[in-house]
Structure 1
Amino acid sequence: MSADQIGFALLILAVLLFLGKWVRMNWRPAQKLFLPASILAGAIGLILGPGVLGLLVRTTVGPEAPLAQGAIPESMLEIWSDLPGLLINVVFATLLLGVPLPKWKHVWNLAGPQLAFGVTLGAGQYVIGILIAALVLAPVFGLPLMAGALIEIGFEGGHGTAAGLQEVFADLDFPEGADLAVGMATVGVISGIVGGIILINWGVRNGKSAVLDKDVGEIPHSQQRGLIHKDERPVSAGGMTVRSESIEPLTLHFAFVAMAILVGVGILEGLIWIEEHTWGAGEDGIELLGAVPLFPLAMIGGLIVQQVLTRIDRNDLLDRQTMVRIQGIALDILIAAAIASLSLAVIASNLMPFILLGVAGIAWNVCLFLFLAPRVIPRYWFERGIGDIGQSMGVTATGLILMKIADPDNKTPAYEAFGYKQMVFEPFFGGGLITGIALPVIYNFGPWPLFGVMLALVIVGIGSGLLYFGRLKE
């Protein structure tokens, strides 16, 4: 595959991202659902590919007709399918770069209730998924027991994590799991936004909201279109910490990202070396860490780089907003590429298992929000819980969108508590260490060791929430 082919594929993907933004600005359903342009771009690419347009032409006209393989060639889709596995490392490396660690006591008091709620949501997705896989999916549909991890990978992890685990699924003889996980992530994002807005309207009508006293349909049209008014546009998307004649600030921050990823590579290689010389040695050895993806360790690499810079950098070279921009472009390209290269045939051939897992995941999240969140989060449970429910179904961005709707003027500590909770939560769930190690654990040891640990976490989360955090309101 030549450099020209890779470059051309990236150019077409960029055009699709623009088309996705155009659709968001001009199509009312996309505005009402707050669908990101990257998801719309991926959907356009998917429609123009061999799985939709190509299938339609082959069915109606014939296999030799023009566009019988779609408007996007298979070779381009192959390039796009490789992008998520690379870009997910950039996304996770930037999560903690530029984020100073606050005092532990402050984090505990503010984020503790949400951490208990979030751990219950995340661990419960494994519990529900493994039960469905063991009782229905494996014996009835013949799917591997690893299908029990699809809810957490797709809902908590999102498109980035689902696509980033593509090689892991393939290495563990479950290649169709990657497409199912990306499809599950799409279900999670859409159901998270739609269900979240429905819950917000319900909360306003029933007096659950502490700040909203009118219908959420009053969101400005410019915000629905995803635009910033000319008079409100910031001068810069990030701070200029160095002069451009010495080095472009964006280049410097990309170097920080590269160092974080390389630290993650070093950690992963060290863990693999330990495994090869201990429990993984010999023909009967168990390969566990060798199947762990790089991206959760790249996040730890980012934390290490951040701590080193905190101690040696007296010039504050790292700007958090610039890092967020780097993360954003990597995530946009990743999501568009993952959805556009999705195999609809795999989802169609596993439609009933896909529906069972999706419905179960949605039901678990919504039920916990309605019945557990008000009993665990002592103050402003609605505004704070809606962010967790959005994040547990459609990744962090969905949670932020719902919090913005529920608390548009930032009158509650929802954003601060959510951010602190993510600092403790992200290294483990939603693409963290537990997400990365879940598939190889199930593959090597079966589902029940992971099921037992996750069930224990659910019990701890509910117990600490009800018996400790929930009583703080008194």
Structure 2
Amino acid sequence: MFNLQTVLFAFVLLALLLLAGRFLKQKVQVFQKLYLPASVVAGVLALLLGPEVLGAIATARGGNVGFLAGGLFSENIRAVWSQAPGVFINIVFAALFLGETIPPPQDIWRKAAPQVVFGQTLAWGQYVVGILATLLVLGPLFGAHPISATLIEIGFEGGHGTAGGMADTLKELGYTDGADLAIGLATVGIVSGIVLGTALADWGRRKGHVTAVNHHVTEPEEIPDLNVITETPEVRRHRARLLRNLLIDPLSINFAIVGMAIAIGWLILEALRWVESMTWGGEDGFAIFQFVPLFPVALIGGIITQSLLNRLGLGVLVIRSMVQNIAGVALDVVVVAAIASISLKVIGGNLAVFLILSGAGILWNVLIFLWWAPRIFPSYWFEKGIGDMGQSMGVTATGILLLRMVDPDNRTGAFEGFAYKQLFFEPIVGGGLFTAAAPVLISRFGLLPILALTAGLLLFWLILGYALIRTFREPKSSH
């Protein structure tokens, strides 16, 4: 057991590790060329200084090194870190749509239909590839757990945050090695996404697929906010009046709004669990919501919270940049703590499974980009496709980084499509409801039914894509 003082020191150490990660990133050219987030560098540093590396080296050498057997961090500190990802990921997802005015679905579809189709194709294909690999290779040859079929989507499409947030669910379902493998896959995804994306960008320039050529790239921090509540002088004056009347600091009110979003998500999830327990999920029934973590429902809570604030005339209280800073700190905690808590022994014990899933995920993403993007996008296919490919292999920032490599001035409109796509994308996959439910569904129904479901959804998006392609070509043929 640990007390509040241990929690404080655990997060002080995380903050110091983040500073060290930022320093190393500025000093080490390899980290700069890979555009690795400082949180990833800090997490790897914590892993190296923990029991898995430093502690193992000290134990192997023997002698009077007992104090280093657990690395530089005490067991209680590591216990806090191991629980942090599942808690702080709720803040990240609750804040995702706070401060934005979400346009009607038909407007989003009209502006970003090819982008939505392409992103969904990548995501559902990761399930199909993972399930096929598990059915045909990983299960028969290596005795892999059936839930390993979901790890490509959790680690690649979801990233470190989702992988860390899903740890408790995977353990509850009996797949104790899953969390470490998912976080390892997320690390492979972000590195391979940047390396292969950079190589593809260079290839695209040489082949003439890239229209805007500019080699100066700045590191991305966030998705372009296309639907942020307009910060006019009147909005700022209205906000100032409200804050003055409420006698509260802007940071405090925005943190409280994020908390309100999480609370609404928790109430929704508890209500769903109650309904499930009283109906289909009763004794010996099929229960799914008891295994669903809070974070995908917290995202829905954020949308509801923003809608309620807008209806009450209080929407201006949400300062989008401040909410993003709150979410950014939470995401840094998730990434550092998740990587620091990886068990290298688990990955080493499942090395074949880990390498096959990594290779299958990378191959799927690259091949779909090269085959599907030129067909689904009527113009600027390279610029519009590479952002989604980057996101599907690491984090959203990877996608934006690759977009900036090939279209730094946003001449192609790829940023808009990429941002609008998130509204159709995040609530479902990449950390959404299906990401949370997939391990439960496989545990309950087995691999073949979920293969049929995900393959059907993949086929649906491919058919819808071909329907879009025909509508793009019709005006040209009738002209």
Indicate the TM-score class for this superposition, using the shorter chain for normalisation. Answer: over 0.9
Task: Please tell me whether the aligned partners of residues 93 and 299 of structure 1 are also in contact (alpha carbons under 8 angstroms).
Answer: yes
Residue matched to 1:180: 181
- TM score, norm. by length of structure 2: 0.92
Residue matched to 2:56: 55
Indicate the SS of the match to 1:293: coil
Pair 192,28 (structure 1): closer, same or farther in 2 beyond 3 Å = same
Superposition map of 1:20-31 within 5 A = 20-31=21-32
Matched, 1:89 2:67: no
Give the whole-Å Cα distance in 1 for the aligned partners of 2:315 and 2:290: 39
Residue matched to 1:232: none
**Residue 103 of structure 1, CA deviation:** 3.6
Match for 1:464: what amino acid?
L
**Residue 104 of structure 1, CA deviation:** 3.3
Residue matched to 1:451: 451
Match for 1:334: what amino acid?
V
Indicate the SS of the match to 2:144: coil
Give the whole-Å Cα distance in 2 for the aligned partners of 1:57 and 1:326: 38
Match for 2:45: what amino acid?
I
Q: CA RMSD in A?
A: 1.8
Residue matched to 1:211: 212
- TM score, norm. by length of structure 1: 0.93
Range moving further from structure 2, 175-184 or 444-453: 444-453
Give the whole-Å Cα distance in 2 for the aligned partners of 1:52 and 1:189: 22
**Residue 350 of structure 1, CA deviation:** 0.2
Residue matched to 1:342: 342
Task: Please tell me whether the aligned partners of residues 162 and 185 of structure 1 are also in contact (alpha carbons under 8 angstroms).
Answer: yes
Matched, 1:259 2:260: yes
* 1:250-308 CA distance string (max 9 Å, x none): 111111111111111111111111111111112x2222111111111000000111111
Give the whole-Å Cα distance in 2 for the aligned partners of 1:205 and 1:412: 18
Range moving further from structure 2, 301-310 or 39-48: 301-310
Task: Please tell me whether the aligned partners of residues 296 and 432 of structure 2 are also in contact (alpha carbons under 8 angstroms).
Answer: yes
Residue matched to 1:128: 129
Residue matched to 1:145: 146
Q: Which runs of 5+ in 1 are unaligned?
A: 227-238
* 1:131-170 CA distance string (max 9 Å, x none): 1111222222222101000000000111111110111011
Give the whole-Å Cα distance in 2 for the aligned partners of 1:66 and 1:302: 45
Match for 1:16: what amino acid?
L
Match for 1:337: what amino acid?
A
Matched, 1:194 2:228: no
Q: Which runs of 5+ in 2 are unaligned?
A: 222-235
Corresponding pairs, count: 455
* 1:375-410 CA distance string (max 9 Å, x none): 001122111111100111112111111112221112
Task: Please tell me whether the aligned partners of residues 173 and 443 of structure 2 are also in contact (alpha carbons under 8 angstroms).
Answer: yes
* 1:325-344 CA distance string (max 9 Å, x none): 11111101110110011111
Range moving further from structure 2, 77-86 or 305-314: 305-314
Pair 202,50 (structure 1): closer, same or farther in 2 beyond 3 Å = same
**Residue 349 of structure 1, CA deviation:** 0.3
Pair 278,103 (structure 1): closer, same or farther in 2 beyond 3 Å = closer
Give the whole-Å Cα distance in 2 for the aligned partners of 1:123 and 1:470: 23
Give the whole-Å Cα distance in 1 for the aligned partners of 2:278 and 2:106: 40
What percent identity do the matched residue pairs reach?
A: 46
**Residue 182 of structure 1, CA deviation:** 0.5
Residue matched to 1:318: 318
